[in-house]
Structure 1
């Protein structure tokens, strides 16, 4: 049975996303595509997919307006879908994760289910409709799938989580200058952005997205600034559409072999043209991030993965190792 697409008369995209699509001559094409692939419910395939995951990426905005990207973990089954417009997550935030202080009823939230071993990913945006001692529920506003581009394949070393292990072995470190080690070794990170306005209808809220590239693709410009190439994607421009209207962003870097976590929040801008873009092979534009504050959790993630197999979509890009100090 076919899954109906977007059922509402209004666009599934808000004005920031629409403006970028129009800028690139894609608005009519993306309106048709968006109404076909974006839904206001969870198809059965999505419900089955989220139920098998041992982790999920979360995007939220704190009380001061700063977005944060986070990760929640649990044994497969910790995410369930009581109905096709409700997603239930039975997990507590990791100690030190900013999500621990953000979680409240009525909170806008974005979720990215991503399975690194198969390079599958599905997105859910919605509102926290209930909070429990051990989890929360989300009322779904938008769902859609993403293609496997730029996802590095990693094999999990274990799916079984000991709840007592979900504690950082060392205190949370706060910093206001770039922590280089995890960033220079990164081939993957996650970014949370938001546009929260009643005028946007069901397109209002928080997005959290994956970004991948060859080693060194995140360039450290100085102790507070990062530059990242942006490659051809699904053309929704959820992240950049949000940034066009709200320049705040949160980044999450994961050390997949040691479990270290790096949370950053700050502001971001898009570089659409200029000779700088040409220094990043394969890039269509650049994202420049300016750090406000960050946190490091040493060994805070109780999951580990194998070394990566790089996405074949990255073959015509990079390398950029020499560009990062």
Structure 2
């Protein structure tokens, strides 16, 4: 935070460059440090929580924790308990075994709702987490593809099926057909944020096995992701496989390109983000859930001109 604003200097710089400072100030009124009762009910109903954090080497990753409704609970207005933890092969397993700064986002694809809660996580001694809330806020339904969850009785324990410094050909195909991903970034004080990005398939582009690009569409003007990247290029992406329960985890460094040529061929893009990939991990059985076919958000711009 800077003075009376909930934003740090990186966020303020991006808001000013985009000409959205006034709108950001208005949106910022929704950022709190406590969990309202309606948010507590929302969390209790969820089956997935996306968590972003830095590993022991300082690389940012985003992963997902799952459970039956009720695995997330807010026993008081400053605390979120998570009755789940990352599997052994997850890149965040080691760091979440101790205290860690985390950014989380709970998504309700069926209802096109989402809520973000950032804070400090500690293990609960039973394989789960206790997160002390620092920032709590909801986001609008834009760019969320409507899906409903379905169980997968044959699901096993999550395990790594591929790891490397860049994307394989099959992984590149998965990226180009994705309509949703989550991105973890960090602020100047090390606090982590996890955010959602959505669009029609093809909105996330592969420029090479170690380089991705995505458009930044109009949003709430908080610019928390871009504000973090303004000061710290580290980023971690999570691409869920909605059909199989698998997941593709990517870490690297990102920068925002404000130039006109970068936006060419990307309808709706106000700016773009380029990610240089430094490591990739593909998990099978990352979640016991599969999901119905998507109903794409009416807010999605076309993926290509």
Query: Please, what TM-score do these two structures have when normalized by structure 1?
Result: 0.88
Give the alignment partner of residue 93 of structure 2, picking from 82, 89, 100.
Answer: 100
Instruction: Verify the 8 A CA contact 1:262 1:297 in the aligned structure 2.
Output: yes
Mapping of 1:1-325 within 5 angstroms?
A: 10-34=4-28, 36-158=29-151, 165-168=155-158, 171-178=160-167, 179-197=171-189, 205-314=191-300, 317-320=301-304
Instruction: Verify the 8 A CA contact 1:55 1:73 in the aligned structure 2.
Output: yes
Instruction: Verify the 8 A CA contact 2:247 2:282 in the aligned structure 1.
Output: yes
Matched residue SS, 1:312: coil
Q: Which runs of 5+ in 2 are unaligned?
A: none
- Hey, what's the Cα distance between the residues in 1 that align with 2:34 and 2:123? 18
Q: CA deviation at 1:37?
A: 0.5
Instruction: Verify the 8 A CA contact 1:149 1:313 in the aligned structure 2.
Output: yes
Query: Please, what TM-score do these two structures have when normalized by structure 2?
Result: 0.93
Structure with bigger strand share is: 2
Q: CA deviation at 1:129?
A: 4.0
- Hey, what's the Cα distance between the residues in 2 that align with 1:319 and 1:266? 23
Q: Which is worse superposed, 17-26 or 92-101?
A: 92-101
- Hey, what's the Cα distance between the residues in 2 that align with 1:210 and 1:255? 15
Instruction: Verify the 8 A CA contact 1:196 1:206 in the aligned structure 2.
Output: no
Instruction: Verify the 8 A CA contact 2:51 2:194 in the aligned structure 1.
Output: yes
After superposition, the CA RMSD in angstroms is 2.0
- Hey, what's the Cα distance between the residues in 2 that align with 1:319 and 1:128? 37
- Hey, what's the Cα distance between the residues in 2 that align with 1:183 and 1:95? 24
Matched residue SS, 1:286: strand
Deviations 1:183-241 (A, max 9, x none): 122011110000142xxxxxx61111110111111111111101111100111001000
Matched residue SS, 1:217: coil
> Between Structure 1 and Structure 2, how many residues are aligned?
302
Matched residue SS, 2:303: coil
